Structure 1
Amino acid sequence: MSLPDRHSLLWKLVAALALLCLLVVILEEDLAERVENATSRLPEETQQVLKGYAAQAQRAWEQQGAAGVDAFLEQLQEHEQVWAVVVSAQRESLASQPLSEDKHTRLNFIRPIDGLIGRPGARPSFYIPFEGSDARLVMELPLRLNPRQHNRLWEILAQQVLPASLAVLLGALLYRMLIAPMASLRRQAIALGSGDLSARIEPRIAERRDELGELARTVNHMAARLESTVDFQRRLLRALSHELRTPLSRLRVAGERELDIATLRQRQEREVLAMERLIDDTLELVWLDTERPQLPTEPVEVAELWNILREDCCFETGWPVERLPCELPADCRVSGNLNGLAQVLENILRNAVRHSAEHGIVRLSGQREDAHWHLWIEDQGPGVAPEQLQQIFKPFTRLGADRPGGDGFGLGLSIAQSVVHSQSGDIWAENADPGLRVHVRLPAA
């Protein structure tokens, strides 16, 4: 199984999860490092408090001697609940009681007031020298002054709150990425189900290049196709009912008149044939538009096909063959369905003959363009107004017809367009000088 392309939702989800994990690791380590560095030394406010205790101890020693030191240490112990001693430069106690062996040992691990606190979780001891003296106050750092007293809170923030916040952020991102478009698709489906065929998914979703964007474009295409089909069938039904009403009215009038049997039968046959042709062409157009059939293709000699069609046309119209020349190169072979192409060329040919000037010429020409053959059929009739060049390919479009069915039913070019499009081709019209030129582009065989 091949991997999805680079715009797939899979890679977006993988990237989002990888980014979440990376952010959690980086931010947690960075935050821990920053907190560790920020709490590795005593802040200036804490140093000032300890220096204040040292100044009190120095005044007590200078004013009252050992008794003053004893009173200070007792008061400090009561206030801060910490171990503390006042010693000389030779580590001799300046209080009334000498230092015990345990206190002597603890003096080996003291540090200056501006030094590092040490490993987390420990209760470090600092020494603060007296002003102008070798004596010093040695005391354990009070818990309330420990800059690391809130480190546990920072650990909870880094290890629990931060990942949870990033997970919520990722969830919101995934909701915007996945759930919101699905809600829009749901609204589109509800709108289509309620009959609003003009509803479309907004461009911000349809223009995405992942699976949701493809789904949105597919749904929009389906909705547009459905709207076009329903609108086409409605217009076709209205036009068909209008076109059938006229021959039926003529038949009713003919039945009401006192006509001989032969005349009445002739009128009846002509009107019935016209209605049969109208219904057949309409059904074929509906079939081409709704079914979009994939007709089998084969190499088709366009010049030979034209010869057959113009023989039939000359027999029906009395035109000489010279007025329907073929100027195609000898190697003109297209890939298409023979019957479908015959119908396309016949419809264009009959339309051109119908609107040609007296003694006019209808000419088939073409040239090779890369992998396609560009064909065109031009007449010498009055042409078409520029604003109606697209209109003539719509069903039941007749320009200058005196009566319905009298100049055709306006379905020939519509059927030709549907057949050409079903065979991966294109068809359009432009005014020649004089007349109308209908272009057909088809894949080369």
Structure 2
Amino acid sequence: MIEETIRKYKKKSFLIAYSGGLDSTVLLYQLLEIKKKYYIKIRAIHINHNLTLLSKKWTEHCKKICSINHVPLIIENIKVENQRKNLEEKLRIKRYNIIYSHLFPNEILLTGHHMNDQCETLILSLKRGSGPTGLSSMSFETLLGNKKIVRPFLKKTKQELELWAKKKDLNWIEDFSNLNIDYDRNFIRHKIIPKLEKRWSYFLKNCFRTTNICREETILLNYFLHEKICNFIQFDNSLNISNFKNIKKEICTALIRYWLLSKKIKMPSYKNIQCIYNQMIFSRTDANPKIILQKYEIRRYKKSLHFIKTQPNIKNTLLFWHQKNKKLILPNNLGNLIENHNGIILPAPKDNELINIRFQHEGNILILGRNKKRKIKKIWQEKNIPPWLRNQIPLLFYNNNFISALGLFVTNIKNQNRNTWTISWQNDLKINYNNFFSFY
């Protein structure tokens, strides 16, 4: 059933997502048959969700089957609090993160998803009002972080898998929680699809064809967007929207969506994309609009959109640096301050002055080398510091006297008869979005 699929992969190591149910049982035994003909390595991983008293019994079943067939088995347990809200989503994200942590670098994850699952996913996407990307549903082959996941049964129906399992006299687990139609997927599986199949026997195959068409359209659209967006992406990965008012709305929203696609977050809904477009493109030029997406924010600054990770508010934080011969660790992973010979030269504190670090200051200040005070807000703007970074820059004080925004400017303090010292701020405010991923 899947021999041709498995043979085409040069990497011959496979990890099977093994629940013990029909789909993954057929997948396991298919691999065992292929192993008799070709050199492949097989491992399995079983995730116990602890949702039923039978969970332990299912784990024992999986252990027994893998032991009989000499398949190494990884067993992991997960628990999710607040089991009423988005349970399926939470379990799926946890499950895939655990599986990812066990995958070897050259190992491919195999799952037992089939055509019926694909149809259910398509209907769920319709319920959410998804566009072509969402309606593409599951791909035959996708990346899981930087590793590969393959679904070799996507062109097979559940009925075909069941016939094969019965022919081979296989035993599998029947999870009766799958009969609970309080869950959307189970409702679709037991109440919607049977009626549609009874009316139209070809319904499943046509759903599968629709997902393929949507995927092809999405690939084609992304191909053209990739070429076009190069004219709008800037060196810091922000999106230049200075000319968006003169571009058709549909093109603008497509560019925004494609830009966000590279951030590896759950793709915002159609409504959210429209909100980003309306608020970011057409708000006042002096406005500072912000749209929150999970743990991230879309911010506009100087005719560009920026995607940033939301940071805890530290503007009221006060740090005392009592031992200046030691590093001072800053909050929010902002690095540390250290006295050395590589940093900014500053007036040294007097013996009776407390060195302290703050992250907010208001009012007018006089910068060294100037003869007129300016509001600090104007200085931030002059230095091209976006609003969300202004409370992330360590401000050096001696007692209550503002000395320096480290790395940016030094104030003109009244008493110039001071020695000097040098402080280095060792940090990296830029976030590398390629070192994380989320499962949705």
Where on the TM-score scale, by shorter chain, does this alignment land: which range? under 0.3
More helix by share: 1
Q: Which has the higher contact order (CA 8 A, sep 6+)?
A: 2
**Normalising to structure 2: TM-score of the pair?**
0.23
Which structure has the larger Rg over C-alpha atoms?
Answer: 1
